[in-house]
Amino acid sequence: MNTNFDEVVDRLHTNSAKWDGIPDEYGKNVIALSVADMDLRAPQVLVDKMTEVAQHGIYGYTELFPPYYAAVQSWFQRMYDWKIDREWIVFCPRIVQAVSLIIQHFIDEGDKVLVHTPSYMPITNAIKVNRRKLVESPLLLKNGRYEIDFEDTEAKMRTGVKILLLCSPHNPTGRVWTKEELWHIGELCLKYNVLLISDDIHADFIHGKHRHTFVGSLSEQLAQQSIICTSPGKTFNLASLEIANIIIPNEKYRSKFKESMIQAGIHNPTFFAVPALETAYTSCDDWLIGVKDYISDNVSFTKEFCREHLPKIKLIDPEGTYLIWMDCRDWSMNEADLKQWILEEAKVNVSFGSSFGKKYEGFIRLNLGTPRALLHEGLRRIAQVYRSTKTIKI
Ligand SMILES: Cc1ncc(COP(=O)(O)O)c(C=O)c1O
């Protein structure tokens, strides 16, 4: 099992969205701490499996056979003590696809979908491009920690929301919702007959004492009201292999979702997808423990570095995910300033706040799923520019 997470792998010229996607005008020397995939190699057993599969040489059509379902079931049982029926599991290549299909087929144009903001853009976009109405309930930042504003959420649900799209754990704030919070959300969904879609793609990265709970495991009633989107894509860094497991305990919802996939012409996973999932879910537990420790150390490193060198930037301590949300408003409220300093001058690409909602200028999100040396160099460059802006401005 490879555990050399310090290894820096050059991702340029691999069609990487994160690295090759940086516009040429910023030069080739930019460090990317943006798009949420990791710069850490997948487990060696997984690489070996993909190599073996590639060597077969016939990449014909595939189907889903029982070992796939057993691998998914055993993963949730082993990791989360959540027993799911085989029938509940529906393969869909990507979570954003699944959410889009649900929006298209479960509700009508103009219907309301509630999202807590700041929020991961492709999901909010899926609501808008499908001409449904995005209803935002901003999270409250209290003593450096984000919380759901339940009064606001309920007030908005009262106006006829059809779907609540929960991100659990939450990207970008890193909140791991407690059981109590999830109960509260669940009760509101039951009270107002709102379909609860929970995007749990970051569930396998939980720090310290925090624990992840799947809404579908809370009660039978809530399971029947929810669709839970899960995937090994983030966990084992295999996003482009395209395999997500959509857990749908409610039979009516399940057949509707399956029908929507057929209508969209989505079937058969790629040749690599199922072997990747089976290997990841059955043979990579040690690797996952290692990578989680590495990310936790990256979080501590970032906190320490910022305390010393970037004192005006307030970090939101992530309880989960490999992302960190930073409040830079005391440095500048203006995103154009931050873009100039961080991207153009420091040559570090991060995810800038406005892509998570209009109100989030002055925030940035960093991806900590990267070797420490790259993270350190990225932070060092930002700190250098930070010092020079302070000398000019103050
Ligand atoms: C919260 C969240 N949901 C979904 C996705 C994307 O999932 P997929 O690639 O399966 O569509 C991401 C990727 O960054 C994400 O952060």
245: Cβ below 6 Å to ligand 1? no
d(CA 192, CA 255): 23
199: Cβ below 6 Å to ligand 1? yes
Structural domains of the chain in order of their starting residue, each with its CATH number: 24-43+285-393 (3.90.1150.10), 59-283 (3.40.640.10)
Provide the pLDDT for residue 394: 42
16, 92, 94, 96: residue to mutate for ligand 1 pocket, most atoms within 8 A of CB: 96
382: Cβ below 6 Å to ligand 1? no
18, 201, 204, 367: residue to mutate for ligand 1 pocket, most atoms within 8 A of CB: 201
Which helix (H) or strand (E) segment is 107 a member of?
A: none
d(CA 39, CA 10): 9
- Reported pTM: 0.97
- Count of beta carbons in the 10 Å neighbourhood of residue 118: 27
280: Cβ below 6 Å to ligand 1? no
d(CA 67, CA 274): 9
120: Cβ below 6 Å to ligand 1? yes
Provide the pLDDT for residue 392: 54
Distance 244 CA to ligand 1 centre (A): 10
94: Cβ below 6 Å to ligand 1? yes
Provide the pLDDT for residue 3: 72
d(CA 113, CA 157): 9
Residues 6+ apart with CB under 8 A from 284: 1, 43, 45, 46, 236
40: Cβ below 6 Å to ligand 1? no
* Per-position pLDDT tens, the chain of length 394: 557 999 999 999 999 999 999 998 998 899 999 999 999 999 999 999 999 999 999 999 999 999 999 999 999 999 999 999 999 999 999 999 999 999 999 999 999 999 999 999 999 999 999 999 999 999 999 999 999 999 999 999 999 999 999 999 999 999 999 999 999 999 999 999 999 999 999 999 999 999 999 999 999 999 999 999 999 999 999 999 999 999 999 999 999 999 999 999 999 999 999 999 999 999 999 999 999 999 999 999 999 999 999 999 999 999 999 999 999 999 999 999 999 999 999 999 999 999 999 999 999 999 999 999 999 999 999 999 999 996 555 4
